[in-house]
Amino acid sequence: MPHRQGGKITGSHTTVIDLGGRMVDFLQVLQCVSKISLGPIVTLNGSRRSGKWVVKVIDETHCILLTMTQSGTVQDIRFYTDMPQVAKLATARFIRESGWELRFGRLR
């Protein structure tokens, strides 16, 4: 699994799933994103391991949460922006153009 650190990335986690690596590379060059926080990688036990890559976009209070699922692993990435609608639109466009499944959600 690739590692990402430096630039806009904060926190102690540097390992990302392949899908996460591509999302982080995109978010790094998006000018309206000020900070990116990588979450731990979680392996889903007993789940169906689909070959699909799925990104769920969720509005949080001060950031946008991306929950990414790839081959039985899940990782959250939070990114911070002063222009959330612009950032979400650009992110959704990138996800769709990459051929991944896009979902929108809300906090539980």
Under 8 Å between Cβ of 82 and 32: yes
Closest by CA position to 18, among listed 1, 37, 41, 40: 1
Q: How far is 13 from 43, CA to CA, in rounded Å? A: 16
pLDDT at 46: 64
pLDDT at 12: 66
Q: Crossing angle for the helix pair 84-97 and 18-29, nearest 10 degrees?
A: 130
Query: What percent of the chain has pLDDT above 90?
Result: 69
Q: What is the mean pLDDT of residues 49-77?
A: 90
Under 8 Å between Cβ of 88 and 57: yes
Report the residue count for the chain: 108
- Note the pLDDT tens digit of each residue in 77-93: 999 999 999 999 999 99
